[in-house]
Amino acid sequence: MNTSILDNHVLVAAFLAWFVAQVSKALLDFITQRKLILSRLVSSGGMPSSHSALVTGLATAAGRQYGVTSPVFAIAVVLASIVMYDAAGVRRAVSIQARILNQMIEEAFQGSPMAEKRLRELIGHTPVQVFVGGILGIVIGFLLT
């Protein structure tokens, strides 16, 4: 009998995939920028997509544990599809719009102090970031189940 939430391999696979993706972001930033940015451990956007890793880890582990014909797997795949589409589509568009708005505001108010904060620009993902996050989640889902 399972006595701990840690015995739920589907849940553990999903969150481990998310964690590995978040740590990977911080490590990649450290390698490329030569500085440790700890906020990357909890931020969205960037390589790899931790949202994609989370939901593909969930779907893979659910499929392996309950079978690919189970309703649990079907729900996980639909959820993963929505999240990954959103990360590369809607949230990516928001990132591009934020970058353009920040640039417009800087140009319009050049030399004048701005009271407003800059909009966050790193929100969404490129299709490659979503793909890599998805592969990471699938691998972790397979390894844990």
pLDDT one digit per residue (tens) for the chain, 145 residues: 668 988 999 999 999 999 999 999 889 888 888 888 787 777 777 889 999 999 999 999 999 999 999 999 999 999 999 999 888 777 667 777 777 777 777 777 676 666 566 656 566 678 899 999 999 999 999 999 8
Confidence (pLDDT) at 112: 64
This prediction's pTM: 0.78
Burial 100-125 (b: 16+ CB within 10 A, else e): eeeeeeeeeeeeeeeeeeeeebebbb
